[in-house]
Amino acid sequence: MSMRTFGWMVVCAACLAGLVLLGPGCARKTVGGAETGVSGQSGEYLTNGTSSNDTGNGLSQMSAKEMQEYRLQEQEGYQGNKVEQSAQEQAAEEEVKKKAIENLRERIHFPFDSYELLVEARQILKAKAEIMDRYPGMDLIIEGHCDERGTDEYNLALGQRRARAAYEFMVLLGIDPQRLSIISYGEERPLDPQNNEEAWAKNRRCEFRVVQ
Amino acid sequence: MNWMLKTVFSAFISVVLFTPLLSGLSIADNSMQINIYGPGESKINTYLAPSRPLSDQTDETQTPSRVKDLHRLIQENLAFLPFIHFVPEKDIIGGAHVRGLAQRDLDFKRFQLSQLDLLCTVGWSTGSSNKEKVELRAFDVYTKRMMLGRGYVLGSSRHVEQASQRFCADLMQALTGRSGFFVSELAFVRKTETDKDICVCTPQGRSLRTVVDLDGYCLSPAWSGDGQQLAMSFVGQSQHEFLLWYEKDSSLQRTTLPGNTIISPTYWPGQGWVISADPRNSPDIFLLNDDLTLGQPLVEHWAIDISPHFDATGKHMVFVSSRFGNPHIFLRQMDNGEVERISFEGTYNTNPSISPDGRFVAYSRLIKDQGHRIIVYDRQKKTERQVTFGPGNDEDPAWGPDSYFLAFSSDRSETYQLYITTRHADTARRIPTGQGAATSPAWKPNTERFSH
């Protein structure tokens, strides 16, 4: 090994030693420049001088108590978010349920002196059956109504047949008969008390009362 | 106090109110008779003379108010009889007043010239204890014979009403051989702002009272054979019930039955209550057991079977069935179960009522572009006749106990009210029933006759 070669080796070793000495200092500066953060290694907390343990060089360190409080706060925040999210989900579910009840209450209508279920009525009843499948806690009282024409007694019977037709259709769709009951009001509870064809058409109906 | 009341009441009943008092007054044989079951065109020209004191010493301008009321009520009552035609005072030759009250005091000639058939006089006297004594007489003007004489003591407005009813009942009996119209009562449904109640009144609209008032709809009242019970169906908030009201103590018995619907109760003479119920999914007609549970079926069919009604013998039952697609009237022979169809015309025939004598069936038919009208089917002649002509809808026909009068409901004056006609389609007269729509009249059977 010549003297010249030895000299280069010394220079290189010195450079390496210098790098080794400078390395940690640079690393600290980098971490210390961050706005917030938790050291995963030592529990040191680096902040912008908000800590009471400010070391004066931009590095703040939390006490164990503070750290515990902080963790508790963070956990509460997390749980708060979770509760909020759950409330939102519940509200959405309530909204869906409300809509379901509205749909369950949708009326069906009949032609004069008839208890035959029209196509539209069947579709409405099918939708009701699906809702009742989804909400096993919801039962229905089916009310049969008639227009004012005709006699009280025949209209009571006709109202019964209308309610019965809806009842039987829903039972065919798989709804437990125990969840359905019927009552006929005949012509006693008109929706529209007027004496014309439009009013009569409205009054020839089944109404659905939801029991939860 | 009770003792006093009893004494007064007994005295009233036994001594005065229903006694044929008037010495010398008795129902004479009379030549004036009207056959209410005939063609229905005969009219009796009638004059009810102004009341006058029994004694000439009394000032006739001092007529007591109860006597005036009695005079008015008799006039109003008799106006319900379609064969009575009141001759106006101005048409009485020689003036309206009568010189006396008894046969010997009356100048029949001027009444004959006035073309009167029947003359009624009212005499009164005031007694002690604030009561009036009245004497009512009816004369056949042509033969100059007294047909009827009755005396009453009036101590209250109730007495006035009773006296008018009883005198008119006896007069009708003397003229036609029947008196049911003034002896019976009508139950009916009255609509209030929120529900429907059951009321009772005379066929002339008197003694009006509410007997059942519940939170719901009381419908289809029907009397028992003895008139002591009144049945009805009740539509409550969540179920139907069968109700029995007992006249004796105004108590109410409530019963539910298998199924969801209780419609149109009626009484089967000699058997018990009959009702339309749906234990097998469709309204059928059943006899109720004594304990008001569902008994044997009388009509079973997949169609609607409702509105049963029996004649007085219980041998015939009419009912509505939709077995041919639309509601029609049928009659069932109760001994052999044979069913006969009664209505053929129209597509909506409901509310049958068979006359107590079993000959006529009245029902309501929906006539296109007109509304409901009452039809009477004669089972003997096998013909039918329309007996009401609107306007509006005429429904709920109900035969009176005499098989002559027909009560029905009509909205000819916009709100449903009760009216009276006869099987001869006489002009319908409205029964005053106060505020609220009135429907579903039901006659109480004749169970008592006055004794005199």
Name the more confident of A121 and B8: A121
Which among B263, B347, B348 is the nearest to A156, CB-wise?
Answer: B263
Q: Apex CA B132: angle with CA B131 and CA B135, to 5°?
A: 150
Name the more confident of B179 and B141: B141
Which residue in chain B is spatially nearest to A162 when comparing CA positions?
B282
pLDDT in tens, B18-30: 444 443 333 444 4
Number of Cβ pairs < 8 A linking chain A and chain B:
80
Mean pLDDT of B286-294: 95
Contact B304 A154 (CB under 8 A): yes
Name the more confident of B452 and B330: B330
Q: Find chain B residues with C-beta within 8 A of A153's C-beta.
A: 219-220, 263-264, 276, 306-307, 320, 350-351
Q: Which residues from A are below 8 Å from B when comparing CB atoms?
A: 113, 141, 149-154, 156-158, 160-161, 163-164, 181-186, 188
Query: In this complex, is the C-beta atom of B233 within 8 Å of any C-beta atom belonging to chain A?
Result: yes
Percent of chain A predicted with pLDDT > 90? 45
Contact A188 B217 (CB under 8 A): yes
Name the more confident of B8 and B425: B425
pLDDT at B91: 87
Contact A154 B306 (CB under 8 A): yes
**Which pLDDT band, with edges at 50, 70 and 90, does B214 fall under?**
very high
Closest CA to B350 of A38, A149, A45: A149
Residue A20 has pLDDT above 80, yes or no: no
Which residue in chain B is spatially nearest to A184 when comparing CA positions?
B261
Residue B221 has pLDDT above 80, yes or no: yes
Which residue in chain B is spatially nearest to A187 when comparing CA positions?
B217
Amino acid occupying residue B190: R
pLDDT at B39: 59
Name the more confident of B281 and B437: B437
SS3 call for B119: strand
Query: In this complex, is the C-beta atom of B304 within 8 Å of any C-beta atom belonging to chain A?
Result: yes
Q: Find chain B residues with C-beta within 8 A of A152's C-beta.
A: 189, 219-220, 439-440
Name the more confident of B150 and A54: B150
Q: CB–CB of B363/B352 below 8 Å?
A: yes
- Residues A99-112 as b or e (16 or more Cβ within 10 Å = b): ebeeebeeebbbee
How far A139 CA sits from the closest chain B CA (Å)?
A: 14
Q: CB–CB of B149/B452 below 8 Å?
A: no
Whole-angstrom distance, CA of residue B64 vs CA of residue B239: 54
Instruction: State the complex-level ipTM.
Output: 0.80
State the best of B239, B260, B322, B412 to mutate against chain A, taking most chain A CBs within 10 Å. Answer: B260
Which residue in chain A is spatially nearest to B371 when comparing CA positions?
A149
**Which pLDDT band, with edges at 50, 70 and 90, does A65 fall under?**
confident
pLDDT at B138: 92
Q: For chain B, give the mean pLDDT.
A: 87
Query: What are the residue ranges of helices labelled H in chain A?
Result: 3-32, 64-104, 119-134, 152-172, 197-203
How far A151 CA sits from the closest chain B CA (Å)?
A: 7
Mean pLDDT of B8-21: 44
Which among A113, A152, A158 is the nearest to B220, CB-wise?
Answer: A152
Which among A149, A160, A185 is the nearest to B278, CB-wise?
Answer: A160
**Which pLDDT band, with edges at 50, 70 and 90, does B317 fall under?**
very high
Which residue in chain A is spatially nearest to B328 when comparing CA positions?
A154
- Give every CB contact of residue B91 below 8 A, 6+ residues apart in sequence: B114
pLDDT at B58: 67
**By mean pLDDT, which of A78-87, B81-90, B179-188, B323-332 is the weakest?**
A78-87
- State the DSSP string of B302-343: SS-EEEEEE-TTSSEEEEEE-TTSS-EEEEEETTT--EEE--
Q: Find chain B residues with C-beta within 8 A of A183's C-beta.
A: 235, 238-240, 260
pLDDT at B67: 92
Percent of chain B predicted with pLDDT > 90? 60
Residue A38 has pLDDT above 80, yes or no: no
How far B393 CA sits from the closest chain A CA (Å)?
A: 9
Q: For chain A, give the mean pLDDT.
A: 78
**Which pLDDT band, with edges at 50, 70 and 90, does B227 fall under?**
very high
pLDDT at A15: 58
**Which pLDDT band, with edges at 50, 70 and 90, does B14 fall under?**
very low
pLDDT in tens, A82-117: 777 788 888 888 888 889 899 999 999 999 889 999
pLDDT in tens, B145-199: 998 999 999 988 899 999 999 999 999 888 888 777 888 899 999 999 889 999 9
Domains, chain B, ordered by start: 44-180 (3.40.50.10070), 184-443 (2.120.10.30)
Query: pTM of the prediction?
Result: 0.78
How far B243 CA sits from the closest chain A CA (Å)?
A: 16
pLDDT in tens, A116-165: 999 999 999 999 999 999 999 999 999 999 998 888 999 999 999 999 99
Beta-bridged to residue B305, according to DSSP, are B321
Whole-angstrom distance, CA of residue B339 vs CA of residue B337: 6
Residue B379 has pLDDT above 50, yes or no: yes
Q: Find chain B residues with C-beta within 8 A of A151's C-beta.
A: 307, 350-351, 364, 395-396
Tokens representing B357 are 């004598």
Whole-angstrom distance, CA of residue B370 vs CA of residue A105: 36
Percent of chain A predicted with pLDDT > 70? 70
Query: In this complex, is the C-beta atom of B373 within 8 Å of any C-beta atom belonging to chain A?
Result: no
